Amino acid sequence: MRTLVRARPLEFRPVGMTKTVFRTGLDAPFRAAFKAATRIRPFGAVNEVAAYRLARRLGLSNVPPAVLRRVSKQDLYAMLDAAYRERWPMIQSRLAIDESGMVEVAAIYWIEDLRDLGLEAPRETERALAWLKLDSEIPPPQLTLATQLSTLLAFDYLIGNWDRWSGGNLKGDGEGENLYMRDHDSSFAGRLNETLQRRILEPMQRTQRYSRSFVQAVRALDRESFAEELQQDPLLAGRVRATTHAGALRPTVDLRAFDQLFDRRATFLSHVDTLIEEYGEERVLSLP
């Protein structure tokens, strides 16, 4: 975490469709993704860090560490991979640049050894979701993956992440045994429309098996502990307050999103408690 905060960037190489995420070489033993706040998603960098901080508070170890940083547009251009220099006007037009010429980014640990786990094809998705039903058997080699999938569906519901299944966000380690939870810039919206609400609610409602330790951590979560966790990030300290200007170039953590998070927490725990009442705690909280 200290290295993510302090390490000097050496090169920025745009990746992804929007070209506002940069694979960043650091003066450090590892690389980072610098995901910039954009005009379309001015809260994007903050949301990435908030998702990591929530995962940390819930005891999850498969969300890559993320911290807020600020980078000048001059440095971004100066260290931009030469192959992308001609695209700089397009890239710059998409960035949320403040009046001092700075761009806020989420600096995220770059996972080098990622592989497709085969969960995004519809047939494979249904097969994996079937593991989370009480009347099905989980193949022993898939127990860790099933546990992580159950937690991912609940975590996405809590943070309002409607973009998990858009492609490329369900990758794991080289052995195919662990699922990494990545790409959370669309989370923590103050309001989701009905379509997006269904997109995050229905997979969570289909799930009947959960990790006992995860559910216990969600029960223990409260506003004070989450706000305290957020303020451990140097650039978030002091910014956990209400905001009314969602288009601000340097936004605070929006407390309207807090309301939605804790409303969804109540819904999730009600779902779990209903399952426990019907099937028993040992069956429902049977995942490690």
> pLDDT, tens digit, for every residue of 118-134?
888 888 888 889 999 99
Sort strands 115-116 and 171-172 into parallel, antiparallel or unpaired: antiparallel
- The pTM for the full model equals 0.92
Give the pLDDT confidence score for residue 63 in this predicted structure: 96
DSSP 8-state class, residue 177: -
DSSP 209-260: --BHHHHHHHHH--HHHHHHHHTTSTTTTT-BS--S-TT-SS--B-HHHHHH
Q: Transcribe 96-118 into DSSP letters.
A: -B-TTSEEEEEEEEPPSS-EE-S
Angle of CA points 35, 52, 195, to nearest 5° = 80
Q: What phi-psi label fits residue 110: left (phi over 0), alpha (psi between -120 and 50 degrees) or beta? A: beta
User: What pLDDT, on the 0 to 100 scale, is given for residue 253?
Assistant: 63
Q: What pLDDT does 249 receive?
A: 42
Compute the CA torsion angle 81, 83, 85, 90 (nearest 10 deg).
Answer: -110
In this predicted structure, what is the pLDDT of residue 37?
A: 95
pLDDT digits (tens, 9 = 90+) for 30-40: 999 999 999 99
Lookup: tokens for 159 = 């943070």
For residue 124, what pLDDT is reported?
A: 85
Is the CB of residue 45 less than 8 Å from the CB of residue 250?
no
Q: What is the pLDDT of residue 123?
A: 86
Q: In this predicted structure, what is the pLDDT of residue 240?
A: 65
Predicted local confidence at residue 212, as pLDDT: 97
From first to last of the 288 residues of the chain, give the pLDDT tens digit: 999 999 999 999 999 877 899 999 999 999 999 999 999 998 899 999 999 999 999 999 999 999 999 999 999 999 999 999 999 999 999 999 999 999 999 999 999 988 988 888 888 888 889 999 999 999 998 999 999 999 999 999 999 999 998 777 889 987 877 899 999 999 988 788 999 999 999 999 999 999 999 999 999 999 889 988 998 998 988 776 544 444 444 455 666 778 899 999 999 999 999 999 999 999 999 999
